[in-house]
Amino acid sequence: MIEEKPVVAYFSMEFALEEGMPTYAGGLGVLAGDTVRAAADLQVPMVGVTLLHRKGYFYQRLDSDGRQIEEPVRWPVDDFLQEQPQRVEVSIEGRPVRLRAWKYEVKGVNGFVVPVYFLDSDLPENSEWDRALTDYLYGGDEHYRLCQEVLLGIGGVRMLRALGYTDIARFHMNEGHSAMLTLELLRESAQAAGRTEVTSEDIERVRRQCVFTTHTPVMAGHDRFALEHVRRVLGDCKPLVEHQHVLCLGTELNMTYLALSLSHFVNGVAKKHAEISRHMFAEYQIDAITNGVHVASWASPHFQALFDKYIPGWREDNFSLRYALSIPADEVWAAHRAAKRDLLVHVNRETNAGMDMDILTIGFARRATAYKRADLLFRDLERLRAIATKVGRLQIIYAGKAHPRDHEGKSLIQRIFRASEALKNDIRIVYMPNYDVELARLLIPGVDVWLNTPQPPLEASGTSGMKAAVNGVPSLSILDGWWIEGCIEGVTGWAIGERVDATAPQPDRSDRDAAALYEKLEKVVVPLFYTQRERFIDVMRHAIALNGSFFNTHRMLQQYVVKAYFE
Ligand SMILES: *Cc1c(COP(=O)(O)O)cnc(C)c1O
């Protein structure tokens, strides 16, 4: 297959494409999926590349104390993907590892197709160990991860060539995991010039082709491998040997620096995150393109129907959600009630929690990890109990997985279980297991308020609040990541506390933040919900009109097209 137009190759370690395909862990994969869906809608020629993840990230069970139990996911790959006949080879520790690709077609609103290829090393000619290399997303040890990144970056480029993609305008690295693709492009460039050594011309040529989106606001979050280790896996990789001073940090290969050094366009995922990244990587120019969500994928069926009725064309053009201000308040409320009913029926069936349609329902779902502070709401149980019994009743729905090695994250889940036990006579609280896209689609539109309590400045962007906005669910959030841009106090939602102007992690301010959260709930959000319903619905409409119309992947992709792809 030969493409007629130059394409953008979008590389991501994870992709969330469809319920039933466990090929993602969280926000990064959802962003990748929403990006290719936007490309298909806007007819931007793009092709996605990732690993197959035959065993997924993991299936999460929670025991009665909230202890997380992880199981490999089983999924029938050929029910979702079509095997391609091409095979390519990548050398790992001197062994040839063969790869095949499976294809998924993302169809846009007018039928335009963006394919995504899933690389798979599970072939009989590979050794047992190599066959398992594309099994687990973010599993295994550092060596496993390095080998996976070699397959994704180098194997990915080779597979695209084998599939007939000779004219690729841009290689977009969604986070540093795929940065090895630059090494393959350098090799290709030298080879095309009839050389074996890589020159600075090759580096310039590759740089013009590459785009890098960084997602991690702390140094410790970036993948690094000892150069020794990389040499053992890759063999004598010419570019690394000849240009170590450009491509490596001393004796380390830092995937972020590799991507930074070889990209002509680099961006952070929100304005604040770009600012932090500029401090972390002072010698690079870093732009900001704030993340978004694919509206048609995240609006509940009830809001889809409402938009179809009042804003025809919104699927082709997400900007038109601006007109949500003119949707009658009672119809917005009815659509929201319908989404809430879908959620509560599901929650009650699964947990027997007895959740009630008329109670203000707070939602919180994201990766269970320390900086997200899922338990901030439980800092002072008596204060929370007093709000729920004196100001207005509350019920709370949680979800989120902890990475298998994140012990702090796991104990966070247990703390929420203990708090819900302590509060059970006054506040119904459930923790739904196995947070995934399917649950997110029910949970986010179905709650009344979407809570987010990260410790600034660690939330690079966050996207679940954007999914909430599309469904008229206002955010109550710490001012970090996208919410710094999205929050208009009392208009699109509410801030917790003041903005912290820090570019590095700060001393713990959880007591102050919790106090601000209680204050805002008690004085503003709960009274508004129960006693000024009209005004509450007005906030819902503004969340859609001001934030849904902007924090979407149609806007995001157009910014990539103008600034990074076809500039
Ligand atoms: C949207 C989403 C995320 C990311 O949410 P954040 O707010 O960015 O933390 C993670 N997991 C699932 C299943 C999602 O749908």
For residue 77, the domain's CATH number is 3.40.50.2000
List beta partners, residue 552. 293
User: Do residues 247 and 385 share a domain?
Assistant: no
Residue 296: inside a domain:
no
Q: CA torsion, points 382, 385, 386, 392, in degrees to nearest 10?
A: 160
Residue 76: inside a domain:
yes
User: Do residues 457 and 337 share a domain?
Assistant: yes
CA-nearest residue for atom 15, ligand 1, is 437
CB of 49 closer than 8 Å to CB of 66: no
Residue 14 above 90 pLDDT?
yes
C-alpha 190/C-alpha 208 separation (Å) is 15
User: Do residues 394 and 536 share a domain?
Assistant: yes
Instruction: Report CA(198)–ligand 1 centroid distance (Å).
Output: 40
Cβ 27 under 6 angstroms from ligand 1: yes
Predicted pLDDT at 221: 81
Cβ 437 under 6 angstroms from ligand 1: yes
The CA-based angle 25-31-34, given to 5 degrees, is 120
Residue 234 above 60 pLDDT?
yes
Predicted pLDDT at 2: 46
pLDDT in tens, 38-68: 999 999 999 999 999 999 999 999 999 999 9
Cβ 30 under 6 angstroms from ligand 1: yes
Predicted pLDDT at 4: 64
Contacts of 271 (CB under 8 A, 6+ apart): 288, 290, 484, 485
Which of 403, 464, 553, 556 for mutating ligand 1's site (highest number of atoms within 8 Å of CB)?
464
CB of 3 closer than 8 Å to CB of 45: yes
User: Do residues 247 and 312 share a domain?
Assistant: no
Cβ 444 under 6 angstroms from ligand 1: no
Q: Look-up: residue for tokens 């170590």?
A: 244
pLDDT in tens, 246-286: 788 788 999 999 999 999 999 999 999 999 999 999 999 99
With cut-offs at 50, 70 and 90, classify the pLDDT of residue 316: very high
Predicted pLDDT at 5: 73
User: Do residues 248 and 367 share a domain?
Assistant: no
Cβ 440 under 6 angstroms from ligand 1: yes
Instruction: Report CA(441)–ligand 1 centroid distance (Å).
Output: 10
Instruction: Report CA(8)–ligand 1 centroid distance (Å).
Output: 25
User: Do residues 320 and 258 share a domain?
Assistant: no
Residue 277: inside a domain:
no
User: Do residues 131 and 14 share a domain?
Assistant: yes
pLDDT in tens, 76-126: 999 999 999 999 999 999 999 999 999 999 999 999 999 999 999 999 999
User: Do residues 391 and 246 share a domain?
Assistant: no
Q: Last residue of some domain: 263, 288, 315?
A: 263
Residue 329 above 80 pLDDT?
yes
List beta partners, residue 394. 360
Which of 28, 366, 458 for mutating ligand 1's site (highest number of atoms within 8 Å of CB)?
366
Cβ 366 under 6 angstroms from ligand 1: yes
pLDDT in tens, 493-545: 999 999 887 766 678 899 999 999 999 999 999 999 999 999 999 999 999 99
DSSP string, 276-314: HHHHHTTTS--EE----B-HHHHS-HHHHHHHHHHSTTT
Count of residues for the chain?
567
- Paired tokens of 451: 């809570």
Predicted pLDDT at 1: 46
Instruction: Report CA(248)–ligand 1 centroid distance (Å).
Output: 32
Range of the domain at 405: 303-551
Stated pTM of the model: 0.97
Cβ 475 under 6 angstroms from ligand 1: no
Instruction: Report CA(202)–ligand 1 centroid distance (Å).
Output: 38
Residue 464 CA: which ligand 1 atom is closest?
7
Rounded mean pLDDT, 162-171: 96
Instruction: Report CA(464)–ligand 1 centroid distance (Å).
Output: 5
C-alpha 565/C-alpha 557 separation (Å) is 10
